[in-house]
Amino acid sequence: MSIYKRKDTWWIQFTAPDGTRIQRSAGTKIKQEAQELHDRLKADAWKTKNLGAKPIRTWQEAVIKWLIEQGHKRSIETDKFHLRWLDDILGNKTLNQIDKMMLERITEAKKAEGSSNATANRILSLIRAILNRAKNEWEWIDAVPNFRFLPEPNERIRWLTHEEASKLLIELPSHLEAMARFALATGLREANVTGLKWSQVDLRRECAWVDAAQAKAKKPISVPLNTDAMVVLRSQQGQHNTFVFTFDGEPIKKAGGKAWKKALKRAEIEDFRWHDLRHTWASWHVQAGTPLNVLQELGGWASYDMVLRYAHLSSEHLKVHAGNSKLVVTKILHFEKRA
């Protein structure tokens, strides 16, 4: 049988000219659409065998190959999160079916959920990266569709006051509260907190470190531990042999999930992401008088430009120079009177 039904969905089954058995979902409840897909796949298989055409590859094949090759990425869990969301739209598509119109549909679907332009762009960027690899390295396709990313506003610096942070910490479940307190005490990025191992911590010397392979700037980060950070770490001792932060005995892969969002709602805090804990840490440092060059080293930023975003939060370092124009102004006024 060339096509058959499983529950409400039609499936395709045939043997290609090279003997390969093809069996897959057509991704449709309409018989005619399933038959058309069957006929096209069968024709493509014939062209591949007899005319030397490239075999038709599916999005799922590309995803599997991508995850295998990119398993070392620090952001691989984020990739998986986006790819799971994309599965409903692209799960049954071939790479050749992914065109500009389909990418626009994906953008519209993500925006309809209330996601920001930046979030939609991250998904589009992931699709483009996979398609580019399918074209340039795997040689599965001949072209990648052109499309435009959505406009994004300049990065905003969202941070909490100490009072707001206290409200949020009260609402967080205990495992997220510990991680959030540690992030506020150290400024570490989400991946460096969730992936922190006891082998990276020295409680006696009150310091921790992030290896170059785990750091965004590809440079090791030394993390001095203040009193708040030490309290958190001591509370985590004995819970897991390898990882510092866990939930039900397992490492935590993503902190800013549903429980995080529910806590934000209860604390009445809007427009705040987990990464903004890092912005909050940096903002508190600047307001307390930490020099920007010191903040750069503490935060592991690759360039000084990255910490200049926080310079406006403190003017203490400018007060000593603020009176420099006073004498000039006085001289000008005297000159005008004499004239």
Structure tokens at 271: 């427009």
Give the start-end residues of each E strand in 52-203: 201-202
If phi > 0 it is left, if psi is from -120 to 50 it is alpha, else beta; for residue 320 that is alpha
Structure tokens at 338: 């004499």
Is 93 catalytic? The answer is no
Is 216 catalytic? The answer is yes
Is 11 catalytic? The answer is no
Which residues is 12 bridged to in the sheet? 3, 24
Q: List % helix, strand, coil for the chain (3-state, nearest 5).
A: 55, 10, 35
Provide CB contacts within 8 A for 116, sequence distance 6+.
none
Is 189 catalytic? The answer is yes
Is 82 catalytic? The answer is no
Provide CB contacts within 8 A for 133, sequence distance 6+.
62, 66, 69
Assess contact for 191 and 288: CB atoms under 8 A.
no
Given 38, 110, 189, 279, which residue is catalytic?
A: 189
Given 135, 216, 240, 254, which residue is catalytic?
A: 216
The count of other CB atoms within 10 Å of the CB of residue 156 is 10
Is 156 catalytic? The answer is no
Given 24, 74, 254, 275, which residue is catalytic?
A: 275
Assess contact for 258 and 81: CB atoms under 8 A.
no
The count of other CB atoms within 10 Å of the CB of residue 118 is 13
Given 38, 181, 278, 279, which residue is catalytic?
A: 278
DSSP per position, 108-138: HHHHHTT--HHHHHHHHHHHHHHHHHHHHTS
Given 66, 140, 260, 301, which residue is catalytic?
A: 301
Residues marked as catalytic: 189, 216, 275, 278, 301, 310
